[in-house]
Amino acid sequence: MNQLDALKQLTTVVADTGDFNQLAAYSPQDATTNPSLILKAVQKPEYAHLLQDAVARFGSQGHDEVMNRLLVAFGCEILKHIPGRVSTEVDARLSFDTEATVTRARRLIDLYQGEGVHVDRVLIKIASTWEGIQAAARLERDGIHTNLTLLFSFAQAVACGQAKVQLISPFVGRIYDWYKKQAGANWDEAAMAGANDPGVQSVRAIYNFYKKHGIATEVMGASFRNVGQITALAGCDLLTISPDLLAQLAASDAPLAKALDPDAAKAMDIPFVHHDEAAFRFALNEDAMATEKLAEGIRAFVVDTIKLESMMK
């Protein structure tokens, strides 16, 4: 049994890609997309027609509608290749606007339903700002499930659990990137690998907190830099993995042990934490890594969204 097959026995494996032609090789349960992945995909000849078709059919309705149609077109194609759910992201420029996020999410779901896709097969991805989390809480009450992304801190995870969102995506690799950059020449790659990786430790703390206190929100580790980060989180609810790293897992027959366990978490002494808006904002502000990476992540997704819009012209 290769590592990918072994991982699937412990964790729901999700493909992190807009390149839906690659999905069959790895048979993931779900798939996730974001503006950067869609931008990368539409620049390939085999996917360019999806953008061209969206512009031709809906260009007169403005960029927002063309973008919505493009995202849903990719989502529908992805759903043909997987049995589970696809995550589709709301425009990152709406990350601090609860009302606009709710409106955009509902529009995306309407378009999916117009294509015959059941609401339960779609997760709306929203940045884990306070405003985004409140939008997700409203959507969840309406039966629209959400994936809270750009999550770097325990405070964000606490607020997402309170909001009863379906799923969170803590970004392992970007946390790792920040700490490695901060350490500079003092970074010891071997000593900070696997279970000692700061991104891995962040996800483990969130997972254990959720399981200890019966929080139903699913934890999906994301943004991996290497296979070691993935194997150190075996047993997590879900892991969303790029095709390159899926290929590495499939090519390895190294043993894989369960690293996260809900029963073990329930036996831990983990205090319950609750955040109102003021406490959330203060806790996030106290976490320099999370503050910087959240802002950086939103900016990067906005840049790629604008690049996509420029291609629509």
Tokens of 209: 């907190």
Q: Which residue has the tokens 């999905």?
A: 23
Check the CA dihedral 37-121-265-274 and report its sign. positive
- Which residues share a beta bridge with 238? 12, 220
Q: Which residue has the tokens 């790029």?
A: 242
* Residue of 173, 282, 274, 160 lying closest to 224 (CA atoms): 173
Q: How far apart are CA 18 and CA 21, in angstroms?
A: 9
Active site residues: 125
Check the CA dihedral 181-186-192-196 and report its sign. negative
Enumerate residues 6+ apart whose C-beta is below 8 A from 228: 193, 194, 197
Three-state SS for 89?
strand
CA angle 307–311–313, rounded 5-degree value: 125
Q: How far apart are CA 295 and CA 290, in angstroms?
A: 8
